[in-house]
Every structure is written in structure tokens, then in C-alpha cells.
Amino acid sequence: MQITIKVPDKKADSFLDVLRHISYVKIKPSVVPRTQPSASDEEDHCQSAEEFYEGLKEAVDELNEILAGRKQGRPVEELLAELRCSD
């Protein structure tokens, strides 16, 4: 299956780092060139890195609970709707 996900430029690097650590996800470079991040994007990224990794840890823990059958997942449509609203 192929899925296209739009992510704000200032969050794209972090999102791609997460995806690169999932063995079954293959990333194909986009034909649309990315712009260079501005200095404010860099500051935002650095200031929220701890929060990002805490959220990532929680997400991995939740995924492990789902895979172990101790928790039920949710439809991907809900996840995508949540990502669209988080800009």
C-alpha cells in the first residue's frame, strides 16, 4: 500500500526520523524540492525536541500494547484526521 502524508516542513525531519526506524516502512523521495528551514524553524525544532521524543516514546509504548493485544487500535482515518488538525 502506498500512502501520501503531508507534514509541515519544520516537522518533516523529525517525522522522517521516526519512519526510518520502522523496518517495514520504505520511504521514496518526493519530486517536490524542500525549502531550507529558516532560523526560527531550527529554534522551534530544538525547543520541542524533548517533547517530541517523549511523545514518540508514548506512541511506541501504545503500539506495543496494541500488538500485544492489551489495547485496541483505532482506524487510520482517525489518526490522519488528527494529524491534519495539528498544524
Q: Is residue 66 in a domain?
A: yes
Note the pLDDT of residue 14.
Answer: 86
**Cα–Cα distances in angstroms (integers) from residue 81 to residues 30, 43, 52, 71, 72, in the given order:** 22, 27, 19, 21, 18
Domain hosting 64: range is 9-22+38-85
Q: Is residue 29 in a domain?
A: no
Q: Count up the domains in the chain and report the number.
A: 1
pLDDT of residue 29 exceeding 70, the answer is no
Average pLDDT over residues 23-51: 62
Q: Is residue 3 in a domain?
A: no
Note the pLDDT of residue 58.
Answer: 86
Output the pTM of the full model.
Answer: 0.39
Note the pLDDT of residue 80.
Answer: 82
